[in-house]
Amino acid sequence: MENLGIPFESTRFQLPETAQQRLQTLLSRQEAGEELTARERKEAEGLLGFSELLSLLHLHARHAPLN
**Banded model confidence at residue 61, pLDDT cuts 50, 70, 90:** confident
Residue 4 in this model has a pLDDT that exceeds 70: no
Comparing 57 with 47, which gets the higher pLDDT? Answer: 47
CA gap 53, 65 in Å, rounded: 20
Contact 26, 44 (CB under 8 A): yes
Question: Which pairs from 59-66 meet CB under 8 Å and 24+ separation?
Answer: 60/1, 61/1, 61/8, 61/11, 61/13, 62/8, 64/1, 66/3
Q: Is residue 32 part of a domain?
A: yes
- Report pLDDT for 18: 95
Q: How many domains does the chain have?
A: 1
Q: Is residue 24 part of a domain?
A: yes
Q: Is residue 46 part of a domain?
A: yes
Q: Is residue 3 part of a domain?
A: no
The boundaries of the domain holding residue 44 are 13-63
Q: Is residue 4 part of a domain?
A: no
CA gap 57, 22 in Å, rounded: 22
Q: Is residue 49 part of a domain?
A: yes
- Report pLDDT for 1: 43
Q: Is residue 37 part of a domain?
A: yes
